[in-house]
Amino acid sequence: MRVSLQIKVSIFIALIIILISAVSTYLFTTAHTRSKEQGRILRGTALSYSLSKAAEEGLINEDLDLIKKASYIIKSPDVTLAQVYSDIWEAVDAYPFERLKDPPSPEAVMHFKGESSPFQVKISDGYDFYSPIFFRTSEDAPPVIIGFVRIILSSAAIQKELRGIIITNIVVSAIITLLAIISINILIGRLVIKPVMSLHRAASQFKDGIMPDMLPQRSADEIGELSLEFNRMSHAIKDRTDKLIESEKKIKSIFERVEHAIFRLGKDGSVIEANSRFKEMFGEVTGLCDILIGEKTAPDCLRKALTEKGFHLEDMAIGKTGDEIIISLSLYPETDSSGSITGFDGYLINITEKKRMEERLIRAQKMEAVGTLAGGMAHDFNNLLTAILGYAEIILSMTQEGDPFHKPATIIHDAAKRGADFGKKILTISRKEKMEAKSVDINDIVKNSLELLRRSIPKNIEIATNLKEGIPYTKADSSQLQQVIINLAVNARDAMPDGGRLLIETATVGIENGAPGNIRAGKSGFIKLSVSDTGAGIDRVTQRKIFDPFFTTKEIGKGTGLGLYIVHSIINNHGGYINLYSEALKGTQFNIYLPVTKETDIEEAPQDTQDIRGSGLILVIDDESDVRELCRDMLEPLGYTVLLAESGSAGINIFRQMQDKIAIVIMDMIMPKMGGTEVFRALKTIAPGVKVLLCSGYSQNGFAGIDELLKQGAIGSIQKPFSRREIATAIKKALSG
């Protein structure tokens, strides 16, 4: 059965009006209900609070007629119940009074077990509100809950109002629908039929090249017939258009969305097509030969891609700005239906930063290995110096000035001491240890650093200092500050390959210097350490990255990018900060600011010879025979009896036999087969109260095993090389402890 377009439009319009009216009525009533309910919640909360305040006064005055104190609340027409409960939910008063025993909501009871905030719960005919009654024993005391109030507000008035709104909307919708149907029937012929017929005639001309949007075919009426004719004419063209659009989207997605540089080559290697990433990297190049470094590289790649049906390599290339970059290149041949090569597809990935990071990590590992090797060499060096320095000291104690052996012994002793100081500096640079902070004079650290700098700075660079007298102390690890000075000086050296001037200055500045927000400056201000050079300077872009780890402007193989990062970390750990000032062709100045401390570490005055004498049996365990003999020759003249053991196992056997007589064990940490840690644990197993003095060519913090054994009960440590006074003082301190 065919239904006319006029009737369909009338039915459709009527349904639309009814639907709109229903939706608008629903939205309006929902919003109105929500607004009324929110108002009801606010009103209920306010009323319950007011009732709780009135009940509070009544409970305090022991007036059980609590609700009448708030008659303005209970007389409200929407209040159907008001109750007052004690703090254990026993009803105290109610309105109406016959509902006194109405139990509270279980949800409210559960709520107030952990909370003291007001609570409401929706019920079938309204809202049930609860508020606690607080009491303060004094103004400063925290409030205590002494009861609860309850108010139930009815929603009957709201429901009545909503019913009126719904009825009004239904009546209005019916009137509007009737008027719309009458209007549509009058205007349908004039406003619909004629435009449809005109559109039908226009659709007949669609084949001439005009392509409007597809029309949906919903029925077999006039518009349906027109839609069918329109769709038949546009179907073929629309299919072709969709395919073209989809193909274009895929090409754009491949070429523009990926981070790699994608390109297409002709069979001769010329660039036919490339994405924006490729152009960002290489600009408007015309061939692969213009990108890769080397005349034969590109043709070789093409030949290998032909034979291998795909080719991958890592090579150097020239970027858009002329810089050399490292790329990963992949090429794939493209063939036609006959199998002939028509070109190549490929992509490039810039792996410069990845490769540089790998190289920096390898260099950093090499530096760490060199540091470990230097530490081991310094340890062995200290073992040798122990015997030289010790026996030189013994000879000096046996001679006087003018004796034939006094001068040679003095020269040997002084040279050994300089060697010991140099070994300590090597350990300072190579060790990895926690900060050992004490009050230090920055000028002394600079002077000590100059000894190492003069060995590493070339002669064409002048080293100058401007050290202000009377510099206050700062709390710092002197070895780490020495490392800071050396790192900055080495950077300055590298910035002046043709020579120049390196200036190290110290001064005191006030708190107005402008410290960063996270640095708290004391009233005494800061100690300023400046390292300046007359090199080429540092541009502003590089200055923003210069303290980043692994960032370096030096050539590959000439820098790790860790020097300034380490400097920055050390200064931060000391509670200070660092900044720099640089001008092109004038040089760079690094300024370090360290907080001033008023504390000073007072060193104990050296005791006289009589103070270091003692008595008792000492067991020395050391694999170095010279060190063992030195200990005996040093300690026996002071009153001690010394037993010697050449290995850890020998020392354990001696101690097991004579543990009751041995007063203290002096033990080397580095020994073959059985190291110091194993020997210490064995001694502790035999006699838990044994006194062990550790001895090593490493510093205490530079060798992790020493710190650990000190925590486990070792009484102290002494670093090689040592003097007679140092080892005797350590023994007396250990025995007295």
pLDDT digits (tens, 9 = 90+) for 50-93: 888 877 776 666 665 556 656 667 677 788 888 888 888 888 87
| pLDDT in the model for residue 433 | 44
| pLDDT in the model for residue 586 | 86
Among 103-117, 241-255, 341-355, the range of highest mean pLDDT: 103-117
| pLDDT in the model for residue 531 | 94
| Euclidean distance between CA atoms 274 and 27, whole angstroms | 55
Q: What's the fold here for domain 433-603?
A: Heat Shock Protein 90 (3.30.565)
Was domain 265-350 assigned CATH 3.40.50.300?
no
Q: State the average pLDDT over residues 253-262.
A: 73
Fold match between domain 265-350 and domain 433-603: no
pLDDT for 504 beyond 90: yes
The length of the chain in residues reads 737
Strand partners, 528: 507, 593
pLDDT for 557 beyond 70: no
Confidence class for position 621, pLDDT limits 50, 70, 90: very high
Distances (CA, A) of 149 to 69, 131, 155: 13, 5, 20
| pLDDT in the model for residue 681 | 92
Among 303-312, 338-347, 505-514, the range of highest mean pLDDT: 338-347
| pLDDT in the model for residue 691 | 92
* Nearest one of 375, 326, 301, 373 to 556, comparing CA atoms: 326
Confidence class for position 332, pLDDT limits 50, 70, 90: confident
| Euclidean distance between CA atoms 270 and 287, whole angstroms | 4
> What's the 3-state SS for 208-257?
HCCCCCCCCCCCCCHHHHHHHHHHHHHHHHHHHHHHHHHHHHHHHHHHHH
Q: State the average pLDDT over residues 282-302.
A: 67
Question: Which of 46-60, 221-235, 587-601, 609-623 comes out lowest in average pLDDT?
Answer: 221-235
User: Pairing relation of β-strands 126-135 and 587-595?
Assistant: unpaired
| Domain boundaries along the sequence of the chain | 5-160, 265-350, 433-603, 609-736
Cis peptide bond upstream of 516, omega within 30: no
Q: State the average pLDDT over residues 358-367.
A: 62
pLDDT for 591 beyond 90: yes
Question: Which of 102-116, 594-608, 716-730 comes out lowest in average pLDDT?
Answer: 594-608
Q: Is 586 strand, coil or helix?
A: coil
Distances (CA, A) of 566 to 100, 480, 486, 550: 77, 10, 11, 10
| pLDDT in the model for residue 650 | 92
Among 136-145, 164-173, 491-500, the range of highest mean pLDDT: 491-500
Confidence class for position 649, pLDDT limits 50, 70, 90: very high
Query: Are the CB atoms for 392 and 412 separated by under 8 Å?
Result: yes
| Euclidean distance between CA atoms 49 and 333, whole angstroms | 82
pLDDT for 656 beyond 80: yes
Q: Mark out the alpha helices in 457-562 (DSSP H runs).
A: 478-494, 540-543
Q: State the average pLDDT over residues 198-226.
A: 60
pLDDT for 549 beyond 70: no
| pLDDT in the model for residue 279 | 81
The mean pLDDT of the chain is 78
| pLDDT in the model for residue 301 | 64
Distances (CA, A) of 541 to 544, 545, 665: 6, 7, 60
Strand partners, 328: 314, 349
| Range 5-160: architecture per CATH | 2-Layer Sandwich (3.30)
| pLDDT in the model for residue 533 | 93
pLDDT for 704 beyond 80: no
**More confident site: 126 or 414:** 126
pLDDT for 407 beyond 90: no
Q: State the average pLDDT over residues 554-571.
A: 67
pLDDT for 594 beyond 80: yes
Q: State the average pLDDT over residues 573-592.
A: 88
pLDDT for 264 beyond 70: yes
pLDDT for 700 beyond 60: no
| pLDDT in the model for residue 605 | 43
Q: State the average pLDDT over residues 372-382.
A: 64
Residue pointed to by tokens 């109405």: 102
| Euclidean distance between CA atoms 85 and 64, whole angstroms | 11
Of all residues in the chain, the percent with pLDDT exceeding 70 is: 74
| Euclidean distance between CA atoms 454 and 450, whole angstroms | 6
Residue 180 sits at the vertex; the CA angle it makes with 177 and 182, to the nearest 5 degrees, is 110
CATH homologous superfamily of 609-736: Response regulator (3.40.50.2300)
pLDDT for 182 beyond 60: yes
